[in-house]
Chain A
Amino acid sequence: SQTIHQWPATLVQPVGSPLSLECTVEGTSNPNLYWYRQAAGRGLQLLFYSVGIGQISSEVPQNLSASRPQDRQFILSSKKLLLSDSGFYLCAWSLGTLRFFGQGTRLTVV
């Protein structure tokens, strides 16, 4: 069966520090992978999606970037965090439009 792992679960980082959130998927090959951000009381905002190794599509311009160094690994990064980067970040993989989500990372930038 397929599983998705996302870590860390919580993270507190100072403004200006770098960020690296990692997501891996098991039990499937060549999945579509996604990074979402969820602000309190709002829906999910798609940040990046990837249909294959090295293929990244960005949905919104921002302080973040994504990379897919391996088929089942998706990384969300920032060189210098801003206060506005605080939020709940979710990784997901898909089978068609059916999405399967990781447990999320609560990022607080202080």
Chain B
Amino acid sequence: KQEVTQIPAALSVPEGENLVLNCSFTDSAIYNLQWFRQDPGKGLTSLLLIQSSQREQTSGRLNASLDKSSGRSTLYIAASQPGDSATYLCAVGDSNYQLIWGAGTKLIIKP
């Protein structure tokens, strides 16, 4: 059974720092992996989608990597801003189009 873990559960860093959020999964037979952002009390916004054949995806200041063999993905945020404060969730997609979710990392960027 696939399990997805995100560590740390919460992270607070000063504005301007580069940071890395981690996501690990137990079964390397994934279809893809997605990173989402959730603002407090709101729905989720898809940030990046990495297909199983890909190593990384980039969007602006965000870069997501995928290493299936080690069961890991990272979300790199460059030059963090207070507006980046949110909860970041990763989800692993299987071949049945179902998503298995991590519990999220709550990120606070201090001005």
Question: Taking beta carbons and an 8 Å cutoff, which residues of A are in contact with B?
Answer: 6, 32, 41-46, 49, 88, 90, 92, 94, 96-104, 106
Number of B interface residues, CB 8 Å?
23
Q: For the complex, what is the distance from the CA of A44 to the CA of B91, rounded to whole Å? A: 9
Contacts between chains A and B (CB distance < 8 A), count: 56
> Which listed residue, A45, A49, A104, touches B43 by the CB 8 Å rule?
A104
Within 8 A of A (CB), among B71-111: 89, 91, 93, 97-99, 101-104
Question: Taking beta carbons and an 8 Å cutoff, which residues of B are in contact with A?
Answer: 4, 9, 31-32, 34, 36, 41-46, 49, 89, 91, 93, 97-99, 101-104
User: Known: A103-B43, A104-B42. Contact between A97 and B103, CB under 8 A?
Assistant: no
Contacts of B34 in A (CB 8 A): 97-99
CB pair B101 A97 closer than 8 Å:
no
> Which listed residue, B32, B41, B98, B103, touches A104 by the CB 8 Å rule?
B41
Contacts of A41 in B (CB 8 A): 9, 103-104
CB pair B101 A90 closer than 8 Å:
no
CB pair A90 B99 closer than 8 Å:
no
Q: Nearest Cβ in chain A — how far from B98, in angstroms?
A: 7
> Which of B49, B97, B98 has the most C-beta atoms of chain A within 10 angstroms of its own C-beta?
B97
Contacts of A104 in B (CB 8 A): 41-43
CB pair A97 B43 closer than 8 Å:
no
Task: Beyond the given A43-B104, A99-B34, A102-B43, please list 14 additional residue pairs across the A-B interface where CB-CB is below 8 A.
Answer: A6-B43, A41-B9, A49-B98, A90-B44, A94-B97, A97-B31, A97-B93, A97-B98, A99-B44, A99-B91, A101-B43, A103-B42, A104-B43, A106-B41
